[in-house]
């Protein structure tokens, strides 16, 4: 197979987004749209990806450099059309041999299979291959004019199309593949004699056919190649992504009573046999093993949930949370960078940050891992089978030994040995009859129309 390369166009200003963030850095499924295109190129086996940005776009250039390397970020100095944008990559791909695919950084959901079909047509001898689809409302798209054998004759932009051509349903996605050397050779002959006065990449089809080369169409679905130009379109793409994830996971054996209320990220991994209750959000970096139950209104990010574990309702798992087999993380419990051992439980109202909880340990309601002194973070270790009573503050660094007990309401600042009891709270004192005398005194003052000093 020939070497593959990708040219990713990201120079659009995105003014309709009305956002200070560059358009293609807006996220779909928790991943910037530009990163979707880079990931597609990697999935297609592209040896290099060149990202074309516009001038004066430092944030985008920096983000692109992190994804593909600074040497593979090039600038389209003037906005003169798609052919001009692709031509900006000429220097970066100078001397390479193989095939190139042109992708768009604001079109994040192109499936790998569609790209493979485009490359396959080039492998079979086509000079150019365009990804096309049947549009429900084709008016804004360029039309793909085909011959009787299905090969591509021409691409006509909607502004330049005749009435007969506007009746064509097969539309142009903009994604195009061709041998690298041929693509840049054809670009030299592109003219701007059209309604917009721009240099269209689509002209490569006619130019290739003029040299006796075949132009082909690889087919995909319209939803695969929808682009983003506004916040509303971004939300629409997000909806398509989420719906596809829900359908895939349910087909794989995940139970969701209200799937339309559950949100996933591009890298969410849910095993068959998991149940997800309504209104759960999976941010990036989450995996959930079979048999786990994620209860309603929970938020998970950068976390691993073990087999048969229960999380929620109203739980928050932050990056570094590792919940062991059959462990329980209950309502209003936040876990950050803590490994929770098999069968351990923290069922109510706790913050567990930076540490380790051993198998079978019990964390009482209102427990706080006091992990931060304003400058540094410290670890808390709770041993296997330990019991931490309610309303306890564990001031890190501190270790509760295996089987140790901590009395409710304690502030623990020293290690607790295994199987020991630690109590750290003030001694309770009592005064018989005090409350009755207090009420009588205050009632008399109030009845006399007076207020004690400092009262409002």
Positions marked catalytic: 348
Pair 389, 410: CB distance under 8 Å: yes
Helix (H) or strand (E) holding 131: strand 128-134
Q: How far is the C-alpha of 113 from the C-alpha of 109, rounded, in Å?
A: 11
140, 222 Cβ separation under 8 angstroms = no
- In this structure, what token pair is assigned to residue 104? 């768009």
d(Cα 423, Cα 426) in Å, to the nearest integer?
9
* Cβ-Cβ contacts under 8 Å for 404 (sequence gap 6 or more): 383, 386, 387, 416, 417, 418, 419, 420, 421, 422
Asked whether 303 and 286 are in contact (CB, 8 A), the reply is: yes
- Which contiguous run of DSSP H or E holds residue 63? helix 58-68
- Collapsing DSSP states into helix, strand and coil, what is residue 360? coil
Angle at 418 between CA 416 and CA 421, to 5 degrees: 55
Q: DSSP string covering 164-211, please?
A: HHHT--EEEEEEEEEEHHHHHHHHTT----STT----TTHHHHHHHHT
**What are the structure tokens assigned to 271, written together?**
């095993």
Residues 6+ apart with CB under 8 A from 437: none
Angle, helices 112-123 vs 33-43, to 10°: value is 50
How far apart, in whole angstroms, are the C-alpha atoms of residue 208 and residue 204?
A: 6
> For residue 78, how many other CB atoms are within 10 A of its CB?
11
- The whole-angstrom separation of Cα 316 and Cα 384 is 23
């Amino acid at each position: 197979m020939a070497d593959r390369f990708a040219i990713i166009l990201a120079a659009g200003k995105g003014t309709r987004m009305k956002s200070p963030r560059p358009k293609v850095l807006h996220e779909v499924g928790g991943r910037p749209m530009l990163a979707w295109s880079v990931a597609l190129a990697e999935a297609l086996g592209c040896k290099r990806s060149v990202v074309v940005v516009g001038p004066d776009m430092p944030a985008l250039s920096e983000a692109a450099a992190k994804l593909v390397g600074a040497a593979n970020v090039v600038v389209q100095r003037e906005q003169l059309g798609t052919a001009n944008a692709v031509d900006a990559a000429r220097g970066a791909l100078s001397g390479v041999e193989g095939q190139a695919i042109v992708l768009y950084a604001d079109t994040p959901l192109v499936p790998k299979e569609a790209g493979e079909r485009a490359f396959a047509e080039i492998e079979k001898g086509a000079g150019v291959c365009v990804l096309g689809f049947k549009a429900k409302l084709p008016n804004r798209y360029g039309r793909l004019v085909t011959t009787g054998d299905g090969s591509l004759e021409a691409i006509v932009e909607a502004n330049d199309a005749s009435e007969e051509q506007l009746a064509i349903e097969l539309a142009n996605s903009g994604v195009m593949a061709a041998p690298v050397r041929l693509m840049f050779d054809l670009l030299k002959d592109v003219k701007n004699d059209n309604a917009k006065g721009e240099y269209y990449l689509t002209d490569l089809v006619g130019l290739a056919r003029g040299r006796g080369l075949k132009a082909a169409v690889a087919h995909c679905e319209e939803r695969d190649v929808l682009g983003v130009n506004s916040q509303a379109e971004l939300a629409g793409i997000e909806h398509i992504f989420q719906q596809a994830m829900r359908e895939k996971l349910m087909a794989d054996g995940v139970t969701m009573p209200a799937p339309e209320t559950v949100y996933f990220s591009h890298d969410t991994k849910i095993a068959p046999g998991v149940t997800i209750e309504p209104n759960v959000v999976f941010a990036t970096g989450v995996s959930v093993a079979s048999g786990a139950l994620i209860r309603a209104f929970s938020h998970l990010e950068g976390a691993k949930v073990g087999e048969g574990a229960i999380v929620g309702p109203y739980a928050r798992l932050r990056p570094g949370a590792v919940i062991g087999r059959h462990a329980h993380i209950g309502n209003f419990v936040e876990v950050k960078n803590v490994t929770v051992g098999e069968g351990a439980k923290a069922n109510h109202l706790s913050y567990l940050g930076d540490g380790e909880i051993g198998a079978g340990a019990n964390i009482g309601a209102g427990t706080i891992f006091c992990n931060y002194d304003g400058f540094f973070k410290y670890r808390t270790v709770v041993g296997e089978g330990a019991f931490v009573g309610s309303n306890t503050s564990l001031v890190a660094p501190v270790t509760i030994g295996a089987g140790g007990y901590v009395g409710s309401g304690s502030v623990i600042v020293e290690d607790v040995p295994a199987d020991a009891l630690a109590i750290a709270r003030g001694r309770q004192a009592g005064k018989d009859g005090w409350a009755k005398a207090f009420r009588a005194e205050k009632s008399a003052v109030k009845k006399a129309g007076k207020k004690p000093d400092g009262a409002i």
